[in-house]
Amino acid sequence: MTAKRIVIVGATSRLAELCARLWVAKQTVDLVLVGRNLSKLEVIAADLRVRSPKSVVSIQVADFTELLAIQSFVDAICHQHGSPDIVLIAHGSLPDQQACQTDLEQVAEGLNINGLSPVLFAEAFANKMQNNSKGAIAIIGSVAGDRGRKSNYVYGAAKGLVTRYAQGMQHRFAGSGVSIVLVKPGPTDTPMTAELKSSGAKLASADEVAGLIVEGIEQGKLLIYAPKKWALIMMIIRHLPRFVFNKMNI
Amino acid sequence: MVTVTSWGRLSLENHSLVALDASKGLVAQIQGAKPGIAFGMGRSYGDICLNPGGIVWSTSGLDRFIAFDAQTGDLTCEAGVLLRDIQRLFIPQGWILPVTPGTQMVTVGGAIANDIHGKNHHRFGSFGDHVQIIELARTDGTFISCGPSIEPQWFAATVGGLGLTGLITQATIRLKPVAGPWLDTETIPYQSLEEFFKLADGSEADWEHTVSWIDCLAGSNGRGIFMRATPSLQTAKLPNRKKALKMALVPPVSLVNKLTLKPFNTLYFELNRKRAGKRLVHYEPFFYPLDNILEWNRMYGPKGFYQYQSVVPREVGQDATAEMLRAIKQSGTGSFLAVLKTFGQRESVGMMSFPMPGVTLALDFPNQDAVTEKLFARLDAIVREARGRIYLAKDARMPRDIFEAGYPLFEEFKAYRDPGISSQMSRRLLGS
């Protein structure tokens, strides 16, 4: 059996790193880690190589916001490693909502890195997988994409774009061998939320969320809320009448 | 600010928590106007990892392996890696941590800073005996690499050094070859301390692990269950792990109390007496019997609990242990979590390490304020007279004179402290 081919875009994100650990613990993999920061990638790759000496772990540096370069970047990876069995698209960064409201440049950046860039990666990989009629693309969205809220609608709108894009792709690939998995983590204990945490917010453990992502992809789920309770919470939030919602400070 | 507690749950105070991120330069994260202390899994029982009103540096993000040498067994990893993760990854590959404590939910940094020991002290000493290199980041911006052969004085200060000599960022540990995850074990009930010591001494040559549960209400006679084990050559696959239970809430009063303790101890003793004999046991239930009940420390109720762990020299070991058991019986307090074991004839590498040749008794006590304090004063007197010491990893209250008598190198140790690091324990026992 050949090693499973996995590509992780945004591989230095905590959730992505923990997913990678779970994958190498299960099987020998041919893993490509894509990230912005070479030294961070090297540290993570070294860790994964200790965890799975037989796996092949390679790294690729990319600028996620250079949208026009994404196609050729994905072409190059697939040329080198073949069409992947699993792609996890995990990059993103939490914009400062307050700052965004007075600085459109930050809005554009936030929408770009959290919305446009992930779906372009998904589209580029999907075309490769379509030729191969197999593979799974998992995109990390967010519960924040389920309804716009004043506290972080730049991030929420970008993740909303991801949600709708993934839905469309799911429709397109329905019944084919390609699956599109949308992951919506609730607030999770990762470096991205360090500030939330130091202010005492309750966060889900990143280990738990990563476990749900890997398990969900394996089971062919289309939508993964992690932890699961967020499915219920967000259903309520989506359906709250506006006069109630507008009174909430969330 | 977030509330932080340690395993004993004796206090729940505000700390500013800094989640260390290795990619951002650790020195910058530990430099500041106020001192801090490293915080791993919070499995030490008292105040060694606490700094109320101040800073704790969480090492949970420093959880990466760096390199493994399959020739020597040398594993290099960051300080926040859990012993659990080392065991689970390496035992199937034929390597095991030579020394492990009674829970695997501790970090490598914590294992070094407390120089933890296990059930095989007579054979393999304490954790520090297997550390090859420690990397320290100091708040003055310097880095120190130390080990048995480089900067040995820094090494001796850092092993068992309460986290006070600098931030332990990574370490190299030499793992030990192992056939598989199984242990050949034998369970033997004993009816007196004399019998215990005979069993302990008689097992040292042929058994790697020895430990015993002791009925803390049995008084100076002492009855208990002696357990010994040695690595098995069986290599059968790992069984599926049972899902861990969880103590879901803090009961309003301690579940361990006068009404429950005696029946529980009797039941436990009788059950194990029936189960006496030889058996093949997986390493997890043998080494880490309580890890399968998450947050078991909640059972002592909202006031938390103390663990009192002392070691006294072997010459007076039997008398001192009998005396302590008598005092505990009279006090009417205690817990079924009570461990008696002998340490081997070897000195620890750390200046402030706990293990020394002798016998160690560890007991939990639900926090009953004055009742507990009074009992501890009696136990302290026995330890003092026996020239013993109390384990810092478990302590939240020992008087300073006992500390100074038990850890005679404390003055020398002070020279290696990082002035930017301070804990509630260091202020309590070392004055700053």
Give the domains, in start order, of chain B with CATH numbers: 65-178 (3.30.465.10)
Q: pLDDT value at position A192?
A: 74
Tokens 């009103």 -> residue: B53
Q: Choose, out of A17, A24, A41, A50, the residue to mutate when testing the contact with B (most B CBs < 10 Å).
A: A50
Q: What is the pLDDT of residues A69-92, one digit of tens each?
A: 999 999 999 999 999 999 999 999
So what's the pLDDT on residue B238? 65
Asked if the model's pLDDT at residue A1 lies above 60, the reply is: no
Contact B306, B372 (CB under 8 A): yes
Q: Convert the pLDDT of each residue in B155-188 to its tens digit.
A: 999 999 999 999 999 999 999 999 999 999 999 9
In angstroms, the separation between the Cα of residue B215 and the nearest Cα of chain A is 38
Position B220 scores a pLDDT of 77
Q: What is the pLDDT of residues B180-231, one digit of tens each?
A: 999 999 999 999 999 999 999 999 999 999 999 999 888 778 899 999 999 9
Chain length of chain B? 432
Of the candidates B107, B68, B102, B113, the one whose C-alpha atom is nearest the C-alpha of residue B85 is B107
* Touching A: B residues 67-96, CB under 8 Å: 67-68, 70, 75, 77, 89
CA separation for the pair A199, B171 (Å, rounded):
31
pLDDT value at residue B240: 67
Q: Does B19 touch chain A (CB under 8 A)?
A: yes
pLDDT in the model for residue B292: 86
Q: Mean pLDDT over residues A108-118, rounded?
A: 96
Report percent pLDDT > 90 for chain B: 86
Please answer yes or no on whether B64 and A47 come within 8 Å at the CB atom: yes
Question: With an 8 Å Cβ cutoff, are B65 and A47 in contact?
Answer: yes
% pLDDT > 70, chain B: 99
**Two tokens, residue A99:** 């700052």
Give residue A3's pLDDT. 87
Q: Which residues of B touch A39 (CB under 8 A)?
A: 23
| Banded model confidence at residue B32, pLDDT cuts 50, 70, 90 | confident
A51·B23 Cβ contact <8 A: no
- Taken as a whole, chain A contains a residue count of 250
Listed range (B89-93, B123-127, B141-145, B292-296) with the worst mean pLDDT: B292-296
Distance from CA of B3 to the nearest CA of A (A): 8
* Average pLDDT of chain A, as a whole number: 93
Give pLDDT, residue B244.
80
Could you tell me which chain B residue has the CA closest to the CA of A51?
Answer: B89
Closest of B205, B203, B246 to residue B226, by C-alpha: B203
What mean pLDDT comes out for the span B78-99? 97
Test B18 with A198 for CB contact under 8 angstroms.
yes
Question: Which residues does chain B have within 8 Å of residue A195's beta carbon, measured at their own beta carbons?
Answer: none
In tens, the pLDDT along A45-65 reads 999 999 999 999 999 999 999
B61 to chain A, any CB pair closer than 8 A? The answer is: yes
Asked if B66 is an interface residue toward chain A (Cβ–Cβ < 8 A), one would say yes
Average pLDDT over residues B421-425: 98
The CATH number given to A4-245 is: 3.40.50.720
For residue B9, what pLDDT is reported? 96
Handedness of CA B72, B76, B80, B81 (dihedral sign): negative
Q: Does residue A5 or residue A187 have the better pLDDT?
A: A5
Instruction: Using an 8 Å CB-CB cutoff, list residues of chain A that contact chain B.
Output: 12, 14, 25, 37, 39-40, 43-44, 46-47, 50-51, 53, 191, 194, 197-198, 200
- Kindly identify which residue of chain B lies nearest to residue A47, measuring between CA atoms: B65
A–B: how many Cβ contacts below 8 A? 44
Contact at 8 Å (CB) between B78 and B84?
A: no
> What mean pLDDT value characterizes chain B?
95
Looking at residues A143-172, what average pLDDT do you find? 95
State the distance between the two ends of chain A, measured CA to CA, in whole angstroms: 50
Best of A47, A197, A202, A207 to mutate (most B CBs within 10 Å, chain B): A47
ipTM of this predicted complex? Answer: 0.90
Q: What is the tens place of the pLDDT at every residue in B263-303?
A: 889 999 999 999 899 999 999 999 998 998 889 999 999 99
Straight-line distance from the first to the last Cα atom of chain B, in angstroms, rounded to the nearest whole number = 22
Tell me which of A15-29, A108-122, B247-261, B366-380 is least confident: B247-261
Confidence grade of residue B239 (pLDDT, cut at 50, 70, 90): low
Residue of B1, B61, B65 with shortest CB distance to A191: B61
Domain segments of chain A as ranges: 4-245
Q: How far apart are CA B62 and CA B171, in angstroms?
A: 12
B89 to chain A, closest Cα gap in Å: 7
In this prediction, residues A97-107 reach a mean pLDDT of: 95
Which chain B residue has its CA at the smallest distance from A48's CA?
A: B65
Contact assignment for A200 to B21 by CB distance below 8 Å:
no
